[in-house]
Amino acid sequence: MNIIYPSHSKPLLSVLQGQAQWPPPVWLMRQAGRYLPEFREWRNKADFLTRCLTPDIATELTLQPIERYGMEGAILFSDILILPWAMGLSLDFVPEEGPVMTPVRSSQDLKKLQIHQLFEKTEPVFQALRQISSKLKNTKTTLLGFAGSPFTVACYMIEGRSSRDFTTVKHLMLSDPLFFEELIHILVQTTAALLIKQIAAGAEAVMLFDSWAGIVPSFLFGRYVSEPTREIIKEIRKVYPQVPVIGFPRQAGIMIEPYAQQTKVNAIGLDSGADINLACKVLPDNIVVQGNLDPVSLLVGGKQMEENIRALCYSMRNRPYIFNLGHGVLPQTPPENVARLIEVVRKL
Protein backbone atom coordinates (compact mmCIF):
# COMPACT_ATOMS: atom_id res chain seq x y z
CA MET A 1 0.00 0.00 0.00
CA ASN A 2 1.57 3.29 -1.11
CA ILE A 3 0.65 6.53 0.60
CA ILE A 4 1.45 9.87 -1.02
CA TYR A 5 1.58 12.68 1.53
CA PRO A 6 1.39 16.39 0.66
CA SER A 7 4.95 16.76 1.95
CA HIS A 8 5.31 20.30 0.62
CA SER A 9 2.86 21.41 3.32
CA LYS A 10 4.55 19.41 6.10
CA PRO A 11 8.15 20.55 6.63
CA LEU A 12 9.07 17.71 8.99
CA LEU A 13 7.74 15.08 6.61
CA SER A 14 9.58 16.72 3.71
CA VAL A 15 12.87 16.53 5.59
CA LEU A 16 12.25 12.89 6.51
CA GLN A 17 11.81 12.27 2.79
CA GLY A 18 15.24 13.77 2.17
CA GLN A 19 14.43 17.41 1.33
CA ALA A 20 16.44 19.94 3.34
CA GLN A 21 14.42 22.84 4.80
CA TRP A 22 15.54 26.22 6.11
CA PRO A 23 14.92 26.95 8.85
CA PRO A 24 14.79 23.31 9.90
CA PRO A 25 11.58 21.85 11.34
CA VAL A 26 11.54 21.45 15.10
CA TRP A 27 9.91 19.20 17.66
CA LEU A 28 11.15 18.08 21.07
CA MET A 29 11.27 14.72 22.79
CA ARG A 30 8.93 14.84 25.82
CA GLN A 31 7.46 18.09 24.51
CA ALA A 32 4.21 17.01 26.16
CA GLY A 33 5.33 16.82 29.75
CA ARG A 34 5.63 18.06 33.29
CA TYR A 35 7.18 21.42 32.38
CA LEU A 36 3.78 22.54 31.07
CA PRO A 37 1.25 23.75 33.67
CA GLU A 38 -1.64 22.45 31.53
CA PHE A 39 -0.02 19.00 31.54
CA ARG A 40 0.43 19.05 35.32
CA GLU A 41 -3.29 19.70 35.73
CA TRP A 42 -3.99 16.29 34.19
CA ARG A 43 -1.51 14.59 36.54
CA ASN A 44 -3.82 15.52 39.41
CA LYS A 45 -6.87 14.08 37.63
CA ALA A 46 -5.66 10.71 36.30
CA ASP A 47 -2.73 8.33 36.74
CA PHE A 48 -0.20 7.82 33.95
CA LEU A 49 -1.67 4.66 32.44
CA THR A 50 -5.15 6.17 32.45
CA ARG A 51 -3.83 9.20 30.61
CA CYS A 52 -2.12 6.99 28.01
CA LEU A 53 -5.16 4.76 27.50
CA THR A 54 -7.95 7.34 27.46
CA PRO A 55 -8.11 8.63 23.87
CA ASP A 56 -9.49 12.07 24.70
CA ILE A 57 -6.81 12.67 27.34
CA ALA A 58 -3.97 11.34 25.16
CA THR A 59 -5.20 13.51 22.32
CA GLU A 60 -5.28 16.64 24.46
CA LEU A 61 -1.82 15.99 25.94
CA THR A 62 -0.32 15.31 22.50
CA LEU A 63 -1.68 18.59 21.18
CA GLN A 64 -0.91 20.83 24.18
CA PRO A 65 2.62 21.77 23.01
CA ILE A 66 1.40 22.16 19.42
CA GLU A 67 -1.29 24.61 20.48
CA ARG A 68 1.19 26.51 22.66
CA TYR A 69 4.29 26.49 20.41
CA GLY A 70 3.32 25.18 16.97
CA MET A 71 6.02 22.53 16.58
CA GLU A 72 6.27 20.85 13.18
CA GLY A 73 5.98 17.43 14.81
CA ALA A 74 3.36 16.10 17.24
CA ILE A 75 4.40 12.84 18.91
CA LEU A 76 1.71 10.63 20.37
CA PHE A 77 1.40 10.84 24.15
CA SER A 78 1.99 7.25 25.25
CA ASP A 79 4.81 5.09 26.64
CA ILE A 80 7.10 2.37 25.31
CA LEU A 81 5.98 0.03 28.11
CA ILE A 82 2.38 -0.04 26.90
CA LEU A 83 3.54 -2.96 24.73
CA PRO A 84 4.59 -5.36 27.55
CA TRP A 85 1.61 -4.17 29.60
CA ALA A 86 -0.67 -5.15 26.72
CA MET A 87 0.90 -8.62 26.75
CA GLY A 88 -0.18 -9.13 30.35
CA LEU A 89 2.59 -7.73 32.53
CA SER A 90 1.61 -5.60 35.50
CA LEU A 91 2.79 -2.01 35.18
CA ASP A 92 2.84 0.82 37.66
CA PHE A 93 4.52 4.22 37.49
CA VAL A 94 5.87 4.99 40.95
CA PRO A 95 6.60 8.66 41.80
CA GLU A 96 10.33 9.41 41.98
CA GLU A 97 11.09 5.84 40.89
CA GLY A 98 9.58 5.32 37.45
CA PRO A 99 8.05 2.22 35.90
CA VAL A 100 7.76 -0.99 37.92
CA MET A 101 6.59 -4.16 36.21
CA THR A 102 6.52 -7.94 36.48
CA PRO A 103 10.02 -9.19 35.58
CA VAL A 104 10.45 -11.72 32.76
CA ARG A 105 13.58 -13.85 33.19
CA SER A 106 13.01 -17.30 31.73
CA SER A 107 11.47 -19.12 28.78
CA GLN A 108 8.65 -20.16 31.12
CA ASP A 109 7.92 -16.48 31.77
CA LEU A 110 7.79 -15.86 28.02
CA LYS A 111 5.13 -18.55 27.60
CA LYS A 112 2.87 -16.57 29.93
CA LEU A 113 2.88 -13.49 27.68
CA GLN A 114 -0.58 -12.90 26.22
CA ILE A 115 0.40 -11.78 22.74
CA HIS A 116 -3.07 -12.52 21.38
CA GLN A 117 -4.58 -9.59 23.31
CA LEU A 118 -2.10 -7.00 22.07
CA PHE A 119 -4.39 -5.14 19.68
CA GLU A 120 -7.44 -5.33 21.92
CA LYS A 121 -5.64 -3.71 24.83
CA THR A 122 -3.89 -1.07 22.70
CA GLU A 123 -7.01 -0.04 20.78
CA PRO A 124 -7.28 3.21 22.84
CA VAL A 125 -3.83 4.18 21.49
CA PHE A 126 -5.02 3.78 17.91
CA GLN A 127 -8.22 5.67 18.70
CA ALA A 128 -6.13 8.55 20.05
CA LEU A 129 -4.06 8.57 16.87
CA ARG A 130 -7.20 8.72 14.74
CA GLN A 131 -8.47 11.67 16.77
CA ILE A 132 -5.13 13.51 16.64
CA SER A 133 -4.81 12.86 12.92
CA SER A 134 -8.25 14.36 12.37
CA LYS A 135 -7.36 17.47 14.37
CA LEU A 136 -4.06 17.92 12.51
CA LYS A 137 -5.68 17.58 9.10
CA ASN A 138 -4.81 20.52 6.83
CA THR A 139 -2.06 21.71 9.20
CA LYS A 140 1.73 21.74 8.74
CA THR A 141 2.27 19.43 11.71
CA THR A 142 3.41 15.83 11.13
CA LEU A 143 1.94 13.18 13.43
CA LEU A 144 4.60 10.85 14.85
CA GLY A 145 3.94 7.41 16.28
CA PHE A 146 6.57 5.53 18.25
CA ALA A 147 7.63 2.43 20.11
CA GLY A 148 10.56 1.23 22.13
CA SER A 149 13.17 -0.79 20.29
CA PRO A 150 13.31 -4.45 21.36
CA PHE A 151 16.54 -4.21 23.35
CA THR A 152 15.37 -1.28 25.47
CA VAL A 153 11.94 -2.78 26.13
CA ALA A 154 13.68 -6.06 27.03
CA CYS A 155 15.78 -4.16 29.58
CA TYR A 156 12.68 -3.03 31.46
CA MET A 157 10.97 -6.40 31.12
CA ILE A 158 13.96 -8.28 32.57
CA GLU A 159 14.88 -5.86 35.35
CA GLY A 160 11.27 -5.08 36.19
CA ARG A 161 12.19 -1.42 36.57
CA SER A 162 14.78 1.09 35.44
CA SER A 163 18.38 0.53 36.49
CA ARG A 164 21.73 2.29 36.55
CA ASP A 165 23.63 -0.59 35.00
CA PHE A 166 21.07 -3.28 34.01
CA THR A 167 23.24 -6.02 35.49
CA THR A 168 20.49 -8.66 35.29
CA VAL A 169 19.96 -7.86 31.61
CA LYS A 170 23.66 -8.21 30.82
CA HIS A 171 23.91 -11.41 32.85
CA LEU A 172 21.05 -13.08 30.97
CA MET A 173 22.24 -11.72 27.62
CA LEU A 174 25.57 -13.49 28.15
CA SER A 175 24.51 -16.55 30.18
CA ASP A 176 21.21 -17.46 28.51
CA PRO A 177 21.33 -16.24 24.89
CA LEU A 178 18.50 -18.58 23.82
CA PHE A 179 16.09 -16.93 26.26
CA PHE A 180 17.34 -13.46 25.36
CA GLU A 181 16.97 -14.03 21.62
CA GLU A 182 13.52 -15.50 22.10
CA LEU A 183 12.44 -12.37 23.99
CA ILE A 184 13.95 -10.11 21.33
CA HIS A 185 12.17 -12.09 18.60
CA ILE A 186 8.81 -11.67 20.35
CA LEU A 187 9.43 -7.95 20.71
CA VAL A 188 10.42 -7.59 17.05
CA GLN A 189 7.16 -9.16 15.91
CA THR A 190 4.91 -7.30 18.33
CA THR A 191 6.64 -3.93 17.88
CA ALA A 192 6.39 -4.15 14.09
CA ALA A 193 2.70 -5.02 14.36
CA LEU A 194 2.09 -2.16 16.79
CA LEU A 195 3.79 0.41 14.56
CA ILE A 196 1.97 -0.80 11.45
CA LYS A 197 -1.32 -0.31 13.31
CA GLN A 198 -0.20 3.14 14.43
CA ILE A 199 0.46 4.09 10.81
CA ALA A 200 -2.93 2.73 9.77
CA ALA A 201 -4.47 4.93 12.48
CA GLY A 202 -2.81 8.10 11.15
CA ALA A 203 0.87 8.24 12.12
CA GLU A 204 2.78 9.80 9.22
CA ALA A 205 6.19 8.74 10.52
CA VAL A 206 7.35 6.57 13.42
CA MET A 207 10.26 6.61 15.83
CA LEU A 208 12.05 3.74 17.56
CA PHE A 209 13.51 4.68 20.93
CA ASP A 210 16.52 2.56 21.95
CA SER A 211 17.33 4.46 25.12
CA TRP A 212 19.70 1.78 26.50
CA ALA A 213 21.52 0.88 23.28
CA GLY A 214 24.69 2.31 24.79
CA ILE A 215 25.03 -0.49 27.36
CA VAL A 216 25.33 -3.26 24.73
CA PRO A 217 28.90 -4.54 24.16
CA SER A 218 30.11 -3.71 20.66
CA PHE A 219 30.38 -7.38 19.68
CA LEU A 220 26.66 -7.85 20.41
CA PHE A 221 25.43 -4.46 19.19
CA GLY A 222 24.52 -5.70 15.72
CA ARG A 223 22.65 -8.73 17.06
CA TYR A 224 20.60 -7.04 19.75
CA VAL A 225 20.27 -3.41 18.61
CA SER A 226 20.73 -3.02 14.85
CA GLU A 227 19.34 -6.31 13.58
CA PRO A 228 16.04 -6.18 15.54
CA THR A 229 15.53 -2.60 14.33
CA ARG A 230 16.26 -3.67 10.75
CA GLU A 231 13.68 -6.47 11.00
CA ILE A 232 11.01 -4.10 12.31
CA ILE A 233 11.65 -1.59 9.53
CA LYS A 234 11.55 -4.39 6.95
CA GLU A 235 8.11 -5.44 8.21
CA ILE A 236 6.82 -1.86 8.18
CA ARG A 237 8.02 -1.30 4.62
CA LYS A 238 6.22 -4.38 3.37
CA VAL A 239 2.98 -2.55 4.15
CA TYR A 240 3.97 1.15 4.15
CA PRO A 241 7.13 1.53 2.07
CA GLN A 242 7.01 5.33 2.07
CA VAL A 243 6.51 5.95 5.79
CA PRO A 244 9.77 7.28 7.31
CA VAL A 245 11.34 5.69 10.38
CA ILE A 246 13.53 7.59 12.88
CA GLY A 247 15.94 5.56 14.98
CA PHE A 248 17.28 6.79 18.33
CA PRO A 249 20.10 4.50 19.51
CA ARG A 250 21.02 6.58 22.54
CA GLN A 251 24.73 6.65 23.45
CA ALA A 252 25.61 4.31 20.58
CA GLY A 253 28.87 6.21 20.05
CA ILE A 254 31.01 4.75 17.26
CA MET A 255 28.32 2.16 16.54
CA ILE A 256 26.15 4.84 14.95
CA GLU A 257 27.56 4.19 11.45
CA PRO A 258 26.96 0.41 11.38
CA TYR A 259 23.54 1.04 12.95
CA ALA A 260 22.60 3.33 10.07
CA GLN A 261 23.96 0.95 7.44
CA GLN A 262 22.30 -2.16 8.88
CA THR A 263 18.91 -0.83 9.96
CA LYS A 264 18.11 1.28 6.87
CA VAL A 265 16.45 3.97 9.00
CA ASN A 266 15.48 7.19 7.26
CA ALA A 267 16.72 9.36 10.12
CA ILE A 268 18.87 9.06 13.22
CA GLY A 269 18.30 10.97 16.43
CA LEU A 270 21.59 11.87 18.12
CA ASP A 271 21.93 12.12 21.89
CA SER A 272 23.55 15.12 23.57
CA GLY A 273 26.88 13.34 23.99
CA ALA A 274 27.31 12.83 20.25
CA ASP A 275 29.44 15.17 18.14
CA ILE A 276 26.90 15.99 15.44
CA ASN A 277 29.52 17.13 12.91
CA LEU A 278 31.61 14.00 13.40
CA ALA A 279 28.49 11.86 13.11
CA CYS A 280 27.64 13.50 9.79
CA LYS A 281 31.08 12.58 8.44
CA VAL A 282 30.49 8.87 9.03
CA LEU A 283 26.75 8.65 8.31
CA PRO A 284 25.55 8.02 4.74
CA ASP A 285 24.46 11.19 2.95
CA ASN A 286 20.90 9.92 2.62
CA ILE A 287 20.43 9.68 6.39
CA VAL A 288 18.48 12.55 7.95
CA VAL A 289 19.97 13.82 11.21
CA GLN A 290 17.88 14.80 14.23
CA GLY A 291 19.08 16.41 17.46
CA ASN A 292 20.91 17.09 19.66
CA LEU A 293 20.71 20.18 21.92
CA ASP A 294 21.42 19.26 25.54
CA PRO A 295 18.16 19.44 27.56
CA VAL A 296 20.13 21.24 30.29
CA SER A 297 20.94 23.98 27.77
CA LEU A 298 17.19 24.41 27.27
CA LEU A 299 16.68 24.36 31.04
CA VAL A 300 19.22 27.16 31.57
CA GLY A 301 18.09 29.17 28.54
CA GLY A 302 19.50 32.60 27.78
CA LYS A 303 22.33 33.55 25.48
CA GLN A 304 24.18 30.24 25.73
CA MET A 305 21.09 28.33 24.59
CA GLU A 306 20.57 30.66 21.65
CA GLU A 307 24.21 30.34 20.59
CA ASN A 308 24.01 26.55 20.84
CA ILE A 309 20.84 26.47 18.75
CA ARG A 310 22.34 28.62 16.00
CA ALA A 311 25.59 26.65 15.97
CA LEU A 312 23.71 23.37 15.60
CA CYS A 313 21.43 24.60 12.85
CA TYR A 314 24.09 26.34 10.79
CA SER A 315 26.38 23.32 10.98
CA MET A 316 23.53 21.25 9.48
CA ARG A 317 22.39 23.80 6.91
CA ASN A 318 23.38 21.74 3.87
CA ARG A 319 21.85 18.50 5.09
CA PRO A 320 18.28 17.33 5.73
CA TYR A 321 18.04 18.10 9.44
CA ILE A 322 15.42 18.14 12.20
CA PHE A 323 16.03 20.31 15.24
CA ASN A 324 15.45 18.46 18.50
CA LEU A 325 17.05 17.74 21.84
CA GLY A 326 19.52 14.97 22.65
CA HIS A 327 17.01 13.60 25.18
CA GLY A 328 13.67 14.66 26.64
CA VAL A 329 12.63 18.06 27.97
CA LEU A 330 13.46 18.18 31.70
CA PRO A 331 10.44 18.66 34.01
CA GLN A 332 11.84 21.82 35.62
CA THR A 333 12.32 23.57 32.26
CA PRO A 334 10.62 27.02 32.12
CA PRO A 335 7.96 27.02 29.36
CA GLU A 336 9.24 30.41 28.20
CA ASN A 337 12.60 28.80 27.36
CA VAL A 338 10.83 26.43 24.98
CA ALA A 339 9.02 29.37 23.41
CA ARG A 340 12.36 31.14 22.92
CA LEU A 341 13.91 28.02 21.39
CA ILE A 342 11.14 27.84 18.80
CA GLU A 343 11.50 31.57 18.10
CA VAL A 344 15.27 31.34 17.59
CA VAL A 345 14.96 28.43 15.16
CA ARG A 346 12.18 30.14 13.20
CA LYS A 347 14.14 33.38 12.85
CA LEU A 348 17.29 31.77 11.42
Residues annotated as catalytic are: 30, 34, 43, 79, 156
Query: What does DSSP say about strands 205-210 and 142-148: parallel, antiparallel, or unpaired?
Result: parallel
Tell me if residue 93 falls in helix, strand or coil.
strand
Contact assessment for residue 213 and residue 252, using Cβ atoms and an 8 Å cutoff: yes
Round to whole Å and give the CA distance between 59 and 89: 25
58 labelled binding-site residue: no
185 labelled binding-site residue: no
Residues near 232 by beta carbon (within 8 Å), at least 6 away in sequence: 149, 150, 188, 191, 192, 195, 208
319 labelled binding-site residue: no
Round to whole Å and give the CA distance between 263 and 15: 19
79 labelled binding-site residue: yes
Looking from the CA of 248 toward its CB, the CA atoms found within 13 Å total 24
Q: Is 219 exposed, middle or buried (0-12, 13-18, 19+ CB in 10 A)?
A: exposed
Contact assessment for residue 203 and residue 145, using Cβ atoms and an 8 Å cutoff: yes
328 labelled binding-site residue: no
Listed residue (104, 78, 79, 100) closest to 91, CA to CA? 100
250 labelled binding-site residue: no
164 labelled binding-site residue: no
Name the E strands within the chain: 73-75, 91-94, 98-101, 142-148, 205-210, 245-249, 267-269, 288-293, 321-325
Indicate the annotated binding residues for substrate.
Answer: 30-34, 79, 156, 211, 327
